[in-house]
């Protein structure tokens, strides 16, 4: 089956390592025929959590590199240009301005740090109480982000667990603990015509081995009438390209989803599973 990847990073992201052409060819080798680059555009500095100047300073570089990737790609591969726009709820006006950039086919709305706090990646976790408190604040911010309309799909709901588990805390961002806030988030997204993603990076991570968000949240989204769901590897390296996508599609099928979603010029299209 042909794969689509709507969450992937090149060297246009601070934590990326490969050109778009390299990423595209590595993805193609794994069966990806439709790929949307979603390099980071974070409104906050990841170390401080305070607003960053020139968040989209890499715009020209991104557009140039995308042109090169279009020239280098195999004929039967389709490439799109998207963005992972981080922390839009901390400055909705700025986020809306960036997301309106005409070159974009797709915008992921994501959250990597709480307001005025460092990225969850950078935090050193020391207790279950600390994890629970931070995840509760994270859930509050997701609700705030879910009310904003500048993006197409909310990225990796439950991002926090990647790093809490890295530090040895077996926590879950699930309905049992955060059900009310997650349900409010999903309902806001659905009412606004926005979607979520199934982030497949978790299938590649030893301490997770499941999608982000987890299956319970993916099931609830469908029960609530959610239809827009994109699929992304969140790969940052060529050896991660395409990895986890097939598992993501299997999970969606098992949950009874009939379609997943891709975007072109910010318009959703539904692909049969």
Q: Note the residues at the interface with Zn ion (CB under 5 A).
A: 84, 110, 234
CB closer to Zn ion, 42 vs 251? 42
CB closer to Zn ion, 121 vs 179? 121
CB closer to Zn ion, 110 vs 240? 110
Cα distances (Å, whole numbers) of residue 266 to 49, 256, 261: 28, 26, 11
Q: Which of 195, 213, 208 is nearest to 262 (CA)?
A: 195
Q: Which helix (H) or strand (E) holds 64?
A: helix 59-72
CB of 223 to Zn ion, least distance (A): 26
Rounding to the nearest 10 degrees, give the CA dihedral for residues 170, 175, 180, 184.
110
Helices (H), 122-263: 128-146, 161-166, 175-191, 215-223, 245-254
CB of 242 to Zn ion, least distance (A): 15
User: Residues 184, 143: contact at Cβ < 8 Å?
Assistant: yes
CB closer to Zn ion, 105 vs 234? 234
CB closer to Zn ion, 84 vs 105? 84
CB of 272 to Zn ion, least distance (A): 26
CB of 57 to Zn ion, least distance (A): 18
Q: Are strands 259-264 and 267-272 parallel, antiparallel or unpaired?
A: antiparallel
CB of 186 to Zn ion, least distance (A): 19
User: Residues 164, 201: contact at Cβ < 8 Å?
Assistant: no
CB of 38 to Zn ion, least distance (A): 6
Residues 6+ apart with CB under 8 A from 147: 188, 192
CB closer to Zn ion, 141 vs 234? 234
**Residue 172 CA from chain centroid, whole number:** 18
CB of 9 to Zn ion, least distance (A): 6
Residues 6+ apart with CB under 8 A from 60: none
Cis peptide before 213 (omega within 30 of 0): yes
CB closer to Zn ion, 82 vs 268? 82
CB of 83 to Zn ion, least distance (A): 10
Q: Which helix (H) or strand (E) holds 62?
A: helix 59-72
Where do we find the tokens 């799909």? 153
CB closer to Zn ion, 154 vs 218? 154
């Amino acid at each position: 089956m042909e794969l689509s990847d709507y969450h992937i990073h090149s060297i246009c992201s601070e934590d990326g390592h490969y050109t778009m052409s390299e990423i595209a060819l590595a993805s193609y080798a794994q069966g990806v025929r439709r790929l949307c680059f979603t390099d980071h555009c974070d409104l906050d500095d990841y170390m401080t959590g305070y607003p960053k100047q020139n968040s989209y300073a890499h715009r020209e570089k991104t557009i140039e590199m995308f042109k090169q990737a279009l020239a280098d790609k195999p004929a039967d591969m389709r490439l799109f240009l998207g963005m992972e726009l981080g922390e839009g709820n901390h400055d909705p006006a700025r986020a809306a301005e960036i997301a309106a950039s005409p070159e974009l086919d797709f915008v992921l709305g994501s959250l990597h740090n709480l307001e005025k706090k460092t990225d969850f990646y950078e935090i050193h976790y020391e207790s279950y109480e600390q994890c629970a408190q931070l995840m509760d604040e994270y859930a509050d911010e997701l609700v705030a982000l879910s009310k904003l309309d500048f993006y197409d799909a909310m990225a990796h709901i439950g991002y926090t667990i990647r790093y809490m588990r890295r530090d040895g805390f077996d926590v879950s961002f699930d309905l049992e603990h955060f059900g009310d806030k997650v349900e409010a988030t999903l309902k806001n997204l659905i009412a606004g015509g926005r979607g979520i993603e199934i982030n497949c990076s978790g299938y590649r991570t030893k301490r997770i081995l499941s999608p982000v968000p987890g299956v319970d949240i993916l099931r609830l989204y469908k029960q609530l009438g959610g239809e827009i769901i994109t699929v992304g590897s969140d790969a940052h390296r060529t050896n991660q390209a395409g990895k986890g996508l097939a598992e993501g599609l299997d999970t969606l099928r098992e949950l009874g989803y009939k379609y997943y979603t891709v975007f072109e010029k910010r318009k959703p299209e539904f692909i049969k599973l």
